[in-house]
Amino acid sequence: MGKVISISNQKGGVGKTTTTCNLAAGLTKKGFHVLVIDLDAQGNLGFSVGADIDTCATIYDVLKGSTKTQFAIQKKETADIITSSILLSGIELEFTNTGREFLLKEAIGPILDNYDYILLDTPPALGILTINAFTAADTIIVPMLSDIFSLQGIAQLYETFERVKKYCNPNLTISGILLTKHNPRTHLSREIRGTAELIARDLNIKLFDSTIRSSVVVSEAQSVQQSILEYAPEHNISKDYLQFTNELLAKGI
């Protein structure tokens, strides 16, 4: 049965989509069968992997029950994908029925056995879509920038995690925090890592040993709709994401 991983942080621009895409690429490279689901109305993930974002059925159709999950899956080089739709932005008001936290969990139930990993790219908010992701997931990975404001947001994310764990998904865990756009050479980045370790320890969350460095190659790869692993396999960022993939596998995630 596939392991479901939610890549989440309510802060925008921390590398959720980049991490989802390149972790998927790393896992695919290792021979695993991977599905990514874009739960963000912005649709960045679908664009990043070169999916059809205009005509194919989306996760919105699936959550609404108008399309079977199997029929929304597109096969791409990086991984299989279910894309998002701008209509997801209205979901908070549209889906008000009891049990709405479980829509995604129910939707992926029939395809769980078809994959080794299902990665969920979530929007920069702790609303109903992220709650659906937490309810459907086995574990959460939190990409985080190495700055002080990012650290402040973790407690809020943790609160949502605890609520979902209590009411919807008792086995949910947080695998760890992944520092992104990290420059290990600067004094500030080292200091932030230290602070992040303290905050994480307080909340009983682990900080991954791997970090992702910063480089323009990330936006270059996105603009040609490839993962960094395909676009620049020898680049530092590819090495960082491969090392992160290995760390996850070594930790049995």
Helix 148-167 with 187-202: angle, nearest 10 deg: 20
Going by their DSSP bridges, the two strands 34-38 and 80-82 should be labelled as parallel
CB closer to ligand ATP, 111 vs 182: 182
Pick 44 or 67: Cβ nearer Mg ion: 44
Between the alpha carbon of residue 208 and those of residues 141, 148, 196, 248, the distances in Å are 10, 18, 11, 9
The rounded distance, in Å, linking the Cα atoms of 201 and 130 is 23
Q: Please report whether residue 180 would count as binding ligand ATP according to CB under 6 A.
A: yes
Rounded distance, CA 72 to CA 56, Å? Answer: 7
Least distance between Mg ion and beta carbon 153 (Å)? 15
Q: How far is the CB of 44 from Mg ion (least distance, A)?
A: 5
- Residue from the set 8, 44, 146, 169 that interacts with ligand ATP by CB under 6 A: 44
Nearer to ligand ATP, 180 or 226 (CB): 180
Stretch touching ligand ATP by CB under 6 A, among 102-110, 145-153, 158-166, 211-219: 211-219
In this chain, which stretch among 14-22, 49-57, 75-83, 133-141 interacts with ligand ATP, using CB under 6 A?
A: 14-22
Closer residue to Mg ion (CB): 92 or 198: 92
Q: CB-wise, 92 or 162, nearer to Mg ion?
A: 92
Q: Which lies closer to Mg ion via its Cβ, residue 16 or residue 76?
A: 16
Q: Give the chain's end-to-end CA distance (angstroms, integer).
A: 13
Torsions phi, psi for 119 (to 5 deg): -105, 130
3-state SS class at 82: strand
Q: Check binding of 219 to ligand ATP (CB under 6 A).
A: yes
27 binds, among Mg ion, ligand ATP, none (CB under 5 to 8 A by kind): none
Cβ-contact 47, 129 below 8 angstroms: no
Residue of the chain from 27, 104, 218, 248 that contacts ligand ATP (CB under 6 A): 218
20 vs 81: CA distance, rounded Å: 11
Question: Is residue 171 a contact partner of residue 206, using CB atoms and an 8 Å limit?
Answer: no
When asked if residue 181 is in the footprint of ligand ATP (CB under 6 A), the reply is yes
Residue type, 110: P
Residues of this chain that interact with ligand ATP (CB under 6 A) are 12-18, 40, 42, 44, 124, 180-181, 212, 214-215, 218-219, 222, 237
